[in-house]
Structure 1
């Protein structure tokens, strides 16, 4: 069973209203938000650091475009005043946000990453975290993604995209865990 430092940070990525837009298509892991909620409750109960990441898109047709409701956090994941919030314009939560400095200033070296989408913002952030030397875990059942069409027109099911992204991360960047193991070790 994994164990986590008392200051291990829970990093919640892009759980905003817009991620539920029907145009994004079929997704996997329908209970991911429940798992994120359980982890968030456990982190809050123990007074551990929680970091919320919000995507602020530069694209006019994005579900995360500023000035519309899709940009807001989902009600279940509204940050508390004591919790950090970082806004990003690209998939990687470390890119031009100050997140790395914020973590170092607080002596945080361990990250538990959850959120959306597995093969985009979660993967990009976990890769950078691993490259920067953070002890990184991605919680498989607390992340999800959508069906993805490749450049040849083939549609890959969300579960396959999710599994492949996590498999790639497990090679060099992060431990891949299930929420039950994280909760047991926290």
Structure 2
């Protein structure tokens, strides 16, 4: 059974508007925002720690450049007062940031990750966190990814990419579960 508690940190990754418009290709999982908002609501209700992650691109012309419309948080995902924000310019939320130090200062016992995209920044953050010794939990249905072309130009559907990444992350780097399973664990009585 999944065990969570007051030192389990919620890590929403890159929940920004850019991903809803060109040049981003078609995506999967239209329920991801709803599931992510349910996780945020549960953590806020419990008063458990949340650390938001935002991508601040340094690439010329990026839709995630600070000051552009796409850089803005998606509706409902804006950090509230007292909820820290980690900004990054690479795929992993741990690289070039103070996330590891923040987790240590909280005394975190686990990190629940969700966001955009399953195969890029979510996957890289989960893998890095696991390699650094953190107990990582992936909220698989609160993530989405995009169609991608393989080497011969064939489009691999977003859902296939998502499923493969959830499977590999769950096999080696994280406990991969549904939002419903996480919400059930949040509401379980905690041992003293």
* Inter-partner Cα distance in structure 2 for 1:130 and 1:109: 12
Q: Does 1:121 align with 2:129?
A: no
The C-alpha deviation readout for 1:122-162, integer Å capped at 9, x for no partner, is: 00000011111111110111000000112221110000000
The alignment's C-alpha RMSD in Å is 1.0
Q: Distance in 1 between matches of 2:54 and 2:108?
A: 20
Distance in 2 between residues matched to 1:128 and 1:5, nearest whole Å: 22
Question: TM-score, length-normalised on structure 2?
Answer: 0.94
* Unaligned ranges ≥5, structure 2: 187-192
1:169-180 aligned at under 5 Å gives the runs 169-180=169-180
Indicate the residue corresponding to 1:68 in structure 2.
Answer: 68
- Tell me whether 91-100 or 62-71 shows the greater mean CA deviation: 62-71
Aligned to 1:35: 35
Q: Is 1:167 aligned to residue 164 of structure 2?
A: no
- Find the aligned partners of 1:50 and 1:21 in 2 and give their Cα distance: 27
**Superimposed CA distance per residue, residues 82-138 of structure 1 (whole angstroms, 9 cap, x where no aligned partner):** 101000000100001100001001101300000000000000000011111111110
Using the TM superposition, give the Cα deviation of residue 74 of structure 1 relative to its aligned residue in structure 2, in angstroms: 1.5
Residue equivalent to 2:146: 146
Q: Which residue of 2 aligns with 1:106?
A: 106
**5+ unaligned residues in a row in structure 1: which ranges?**
none
Q: Which stretches of structure 1, 4 residues or more, deviate above 2 A after TM superposition?
A: none
Per the alignment, residue 82 of structure 1 pairs with 82
- Structure-1 residue corresponding to 2:56: 56
User: How far apart, CA to CA, are the structure 1 residues paired with 2:128 and 2:18?
Assistant: 25
**1:61 offset after TM fit, Å?**
2.3
Count residues in correspondence.
Answer: 186
